[in-house]
């Protein structure tokens, strides 16, 4: 994965001599920003740092890879931690660790987490080096949580390094952005990303990479997960013009993939009309650009609605009814 982001990695390692206290690693979802931030954090905590890469063999590297380095902390929403099979950084207030009955996992970074981060950063380093905090995704902080982090960014403890990972840096407070050195992470080259996906066993990697907008991790998720199976069914139905098959949604979990495919199909039709080619690998047929763009916006709203309880039989029909004729 790291070979796909050589440019961003070189930019990060080029700052080692004069390392700022906060870096904002940002780019599109699914391009490996978190993996890049974690590898850089490992490098900062590596006790050998041979040739500008973590050695992977010292105690610092072994602890970091095991997820228990005492000088590293990852702050992320509970829902993200669960998806990545990591424990939450802070238990709910008044709730014991390991409690059997838990509330729905939070999709936001909670203020208790940033307050706990301040306590962590103000402790002396266990290994006599730096202390590294990864905040991911940084835009998942609400105003109170962001202001809590801002205090630490304004007066960082000696040896503390903040790595903020963001899909949407515009969603951060301007005061937080102004205290971070930005590190943009571009989409990897299509040829290299396709080869990486093929090595992972993905069939038709070019098509999945195009559908994911050039993001290889998202393409891998689409091609190998249950969501990918639902997307595959919709793509086949669109390719054959079978609207009846598109409306045959088996359960509520397939509503969002249907809305996503229809949205990207609409954008491709509009792009083909305006620029002569699509972006997501859909049919290159052009059409009424204004009508297809309006339909794409509608599908964007429907993608949000699919997270609410809906009738899986009636909602697809409503989505398809608004599709432009050409």
Query: What is the model's pLDDT at position 75?
Result: 94
Residue written as tokens 């998942």? 140
Which CATH class name applies to 2-184?
alpha beta
- Return the domain boundaries, the chain: 2-184, 225-321
Query: Could you tell me what percentage of the chain is helix, strand and coil, using 3-state DSSP and rounding each to the nearest 5?
Result: 50, 10, 40
pLDDT less than 50: residues of the chain: 90-101
What is residue 45's predicted lDDT score, i.e. its pLDDT? 94
Task: Report the pLDDT value the prediction gives residue 314, as an integer from 0 to 100.
Answer: 78
Residue 127's pLDDT is what? Answer: 77
**pLDDT attached to residue 102:** 52
The model carries a pTM of 0.84
| Per-residue pLDDT, 296 | 93
The pLDDT tens digits for 153-203 are 998 888 899 999 999 999 999 999 999 999 999 999 999 999 999 999 998
Residue ranges in the chain assigned as alpha helix (H): 6-13, 33-45, 59-66, 78-83, 111-121, 143-154, 174-177, 190-199, 205-211, 216-224, 226-239, 243-247, 255-275, 289-305, 314-321
């Amino acid at each position: 994965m790291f070979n796909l982001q050589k440019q961003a990695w070189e930019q990060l390692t080029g700052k080692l001599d004069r390392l700022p206290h906060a870096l904002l690693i940002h780019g599109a979802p699914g391009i490996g920003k978190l993996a890049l931030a974690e590898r850089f954090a490992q490098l900062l905590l590596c006790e050998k740092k041979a040739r500008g890469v973590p050695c992977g063999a010292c105690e610092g590297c072994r602890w970091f890879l095991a997820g228990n380095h005492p000088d590293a902390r990852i702050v992320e929403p509970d829902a993200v931690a669960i998806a990545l099979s990591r424990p939450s950084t802070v238990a709910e207030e008044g709730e014991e660790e390991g409690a059997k009955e838990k509330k729905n996992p939070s999709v936001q970074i909670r203020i208790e987490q940033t307050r706990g981060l301040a306590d962590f950063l103000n402790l002396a380093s266990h290994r006599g080096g730096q202390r590294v905090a990864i905040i991911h995704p940084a835009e998942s902080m609400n105003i109170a949580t962001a202001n809590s982090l801002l205090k630490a960014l304004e007066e960082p403890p000696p040896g503390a390094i903040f790595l903020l990972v963001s899909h949407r840096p515009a969603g951060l407070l301007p005061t937080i952005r102004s205290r971070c050195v930005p590190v943009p992470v571009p989409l990897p080259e299509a040829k290299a990303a396709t080869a990486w996906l093929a090595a992972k066993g993905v069939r038709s990697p070019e098509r999945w990479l195009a559908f994911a907008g050039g993001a290889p991790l998202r393409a891998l998720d689409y091609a190998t997960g249950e969501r990918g199976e639902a997307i595959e069914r919709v793509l086949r139905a669109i390719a054959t013009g079978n609207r009846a098959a598109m409306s045959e949604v088996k359960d509520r979990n397939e509503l969002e993939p249907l809305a996503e495919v229809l949205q990207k199909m609409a954008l491709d039709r509009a792009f083909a009309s305006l620029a002569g080619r699509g972006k997501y690998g859909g049919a290159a047929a052009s059409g009424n650009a204004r009508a297809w763009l309006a339909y794409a916006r509608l599908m964007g709203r429907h993608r949000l609605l699919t997270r609410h309880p809906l009738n899986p039989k009636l909602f697809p029909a409503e989505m398809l009814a608004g599709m432009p004729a050409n």
